[in-house]
Chains A and B, each alone.
Chain A
Amino acid sequence: MRLKLKDLPEENIFSSGHTACAGCGAAMAVRNIAKVLGKEVIIYVPASCLSVFNGLFPNCAWTVPYHHTVFENTGAAISGLSRAMKRKGLDDVTVVGIAGDGGTADIGLQALSGAAERNEDVIYICYDNEAYMNTGVQRSGSTPHGASTTTTPVGKLTKGNQDFKKDVPLIMMAHGVPYVATASASFPLDLINKVKKAKETKGFRYLQVYAPCVPGWRYEQSKTVEVGKLAVECGMWFLLECENGRLKINREPKMKNLETYLKMQGRFRHMDEKQIAELQESIERKWEFYKGYADLTQRLYSGSEASV
């Protein structure tokens, strides 16, 4: 049964009093994710904005067990937690890692890949704010083409990020894990139902959640939901779901209004026509790819349950 927003509990498991910026997309997503996960969970968070805004000692916004050590080990840490729960016979406890895109696409990719390949019984959630925000907006592997960050500045030689966004969800699909999905803080209904499905699935589950960031993307703090919605409309982010190898597109993008999306945000405002055209071309290719990939996998894996 699909969840509705009113099905979520009143009580916040990720409690108010955390210190995220006003309008933080990651905080919005995490609050809803926590409500679906419920209380029988253990949460691991690596170094990231979340590890800071979830409270400094002796405060902690989590009302469930919370663990943190370093930046690049989420995949391994949740493996250890999950095996420990298995030893204790606590099969109802869901082990969840929540990492930023830097901790996922870059420094943590090795541990993530290892955990996925072992099909550890865990949920890995990447909140994707498309840069290293905690350290002050440096580029990550997940930063989109053209975006200016403090390490891909707009200068004389180049203007913004010259590389293209790394497609971690696709990398995870290639690992053949039971569940991979993308979601967005701006589509809470879609998000909570994907978290629910992840919770009900066994084995390694990967979710990447688009999470607009006010100071990093430089937009008006009341516009978080709008920015996230536009991203899906224009094809800068796709809502996808891959179950046992079969990819499904949850929402058809209109593939238009890219310029409106870009102009809303300070990080893209410098982009000229040529750069925008390059970006448009890249997202169109991506869209064609996903459509084809979805058709192909629906055919190839029809009827498959677990073996991918």
Chain B
Amino acid sequence: MRRVVGSNYATAHAVMRARVEVIAAYPITPQTQMVEHIAKFINDGIMDCEYIKVEGEHSSISAVIASQAAGVRSFTSTASQGLALMHELLFSAGGLRLPIVMGVVNRSVGSTGGIWVEYNDSMPQRDCGWLQMYVETNQEVHDMILQAYKIAEDKRVLLPIMICSDGFILSHTVEPVELAEQEEVDEFLPKYEARHSYLDPKDPIGSGIVTPREYRQEFAYQIHRAMLEAKDVIEEVNRDFADAFGRDHSGLVETEFMDDADAAFLTLGTVTSTARGVVRELREKGKKVGLVKVRAFRPYPVEKIAEVCGDVKAVGVYDRSVSFGVGGPHYLEARNALFDSDVPVIDFIGGLGGRDVTEADVRSIYEVLLEAAKTGKAKRNVEWVSTRGVALG
């Protein structure tokens, strides 16, 4: 069924179709409508699930950790301050290997900030043992919620996953979205049967027992291994999804014009759409530019990035977040992936606090990159895009 909806509706619909059985969530702009849509689905009798109307996000994540630990498919969603409030429990969800899915509607966190998109809510959570995927369209949000359960519940992974979408740009913008029917989802994502250990009086286990020094390191190593294996699983599930629904979102990364590009720009989220337009326009003018849409931030597709950027002469990385005094978190990941390459890698920090990243911004980014491709050098490693008092390059 095709309908014109925002990403919060697309998420709620996918959660309903995934036959999630326990939801605990708390409203926060720009995620609020998701909480409301789910309440309405349940109240209209079209969704059958336990909905815990908790008193805050620390409790929503605590409750879904517990319900998932009891072997029931669970969901929560939040943004910004709510995600920061959950921080302590994110480690518990990862550490207990619970395949929880969370919808994160990205918004800046802390002072001074507002209610608009920035990745300083989700990116600082990268070390908690959660997979993180970023999306570009409302269709992709919907599709990734369905894929997320399949990825997280795969026995090679068994880790929680965040599907991150840009606040307002997706949440409050309606687009036509193909909403999945129940039968097709049931086929793609069978009813959840917890196969790993879970809390059951018939077969008692201890979950989350305080762990002494002799054991903790091995548990951590297993999470690391699972995160590495998740790369294959993300690609596989993407192919399965494409076969079932006819929509291919390209797994870990999606590329455009990368076969013969001199300058590549690595994006995440909705800025990709802006960059796509600019890349096509520059190609028409004969400029050898390419685009890499990075979809997975955890696990970061290190090998894939090294492969697609193998022949370029300069790489730009988009960052909608800052690690103060260093650069952007995405830049650090990309530079690590390109460690063996001697091409200049330049960080472009922009769009903070929801500031528009315009086509003109992207054009100037490609100018800087083409110049670096020519000279083989970056004038500066970290550039602040459209920042008052700061000129690029």
Contact = CB atoms under 8 A, between A and B. Distances in A.
B27 to A, nearest CB: 14
A56 B209 CA distance: 6
B199 A76 contact: no
B70 A84 contact: yes
A51 B58 contact: no
Contacts of A264: none
A57 B215 contact: yes
Given A76-B60, A81-B66, A111-B55, 11 more contacts: A58-B215, A65-B206, A67-B66, A68-B208, A70-B88, A76-B62, A76-B66, A80-B52, A81-B70, A114-B54, A114-B56
Interface of B: 21-22, 24, 49-50, 52-56, 58-60, 62-72, 74, 88-89, 92, 96, 199-201, 204-212, 215
Nearest to A110: B55
A6 to B, nearest CB: 25
A164 interface: no
Contacts of B89: 69-70, 73
A219 interface: no
B66 to A, nearest CB: 3
B199 A67 contact: yes
Nearest to B49: A87
Interface string A92-132: 01000000000000000011011001100000000000000
Contact of A63 (B68, B200, B204): B204
Chain A: interface secondary structure?
Answer: mixed
A282 B355 CA distance: 58
Nearest to B214: A57
B201 A114 contact: no
A87 B72 contact: yes
A40 B204 CA distance: 10
Given A57-B212, A65-B205, A66-B209, A79 B54 contact: yes
Nearest to A44: B66
A51 to B, nearest CB: 6
Contacts of B66: 44, 67, 69, 76-81, 84
Closest CB pairs A-B (n = 4): A80-B66, A80-B63, A76-B59, A114-B55
Given A65-B200, A70-B88, A81 B67 contact: yes
Given A69-B92, A88-B72, A110-B56, A77 B63 contact: yes
Contacts of A56: 209-212
**Chain A, interface residues (CB within 8 Å), range:** 35 or more
Contact of A67 (B207, B210, B215): B207
Contact of B72 (A60, A73, A84): A84
A84 B59 CA distance: 15
B24 A79 contact: yes
13 contacts: A42-B201, A65-B206, A66-B207, A66-B209, A76-B60, A79-B66, A80-B52, A81-B66, A81-B69, A84-B21, A87-B49, A110-B58, A114-B59
A249 interface: no
A75 B72 contact: no
Contacts of B215: 57-58
A117 B59 CA distance: 14
Contact of A41 (B21, B69, B201, B207): B201
B22 to A, nearest CB: 5
A65 B89 CA distance: 20
A83 interface: yes
A14 B295 CA distance: 47
A88 B59 contact: no
A223 interface: no
B22 A87 contact: yes
A68 B210 contact: yes
B217 to A, nearest CB: 12
A76 B208 contact: no
A73 to B, nearest CB: 4
A85 interface: yes
A111 B62 contact: yes
Interface in A35-64: 39-42, 44, 51-52, 54-60, 62-64
Interface string A16-45: 000000000000000000000001111010
Contacts of A73: 58-59, 62, 89
B58 A111 contact: yes
A69 B96 CA distance: 9
B53 A69 contact: no
Nearest to A113: B55
B63 A68 contact: no
A88 B22 CA distance: 11
A122 to B, nearest CB: 11
A83 B67 contact: yes
A87 B50 contact: yes
A86 interface: yes
A216 B207 CA distance: 29
A72 interface: yes
Contacts of A69: 62, 65-66, 89, 92, 96, 208
Contacts of A44: 66
Contacts of B70: 42, 80-81, 84-85, 88
B319 to A, nearest CB: 31
Contacts of B88: 70
Given A44-B66, A80-B24, A111-B62, A39 B50 contact: no
A188 B69 CA distance: 33
Contact of B21 (A64, A87, A113, A117): A87
B204 A83 contact: no
Scoring A41, A69, A70, A117 by chain B CB atoms within 10 A of each residue's CB, the highest score goes to: A69
A84 B206 CA distance: 17
B56 A79 contact: no
Contacts of B59: 73, 75-76, 79, 110-111, 114
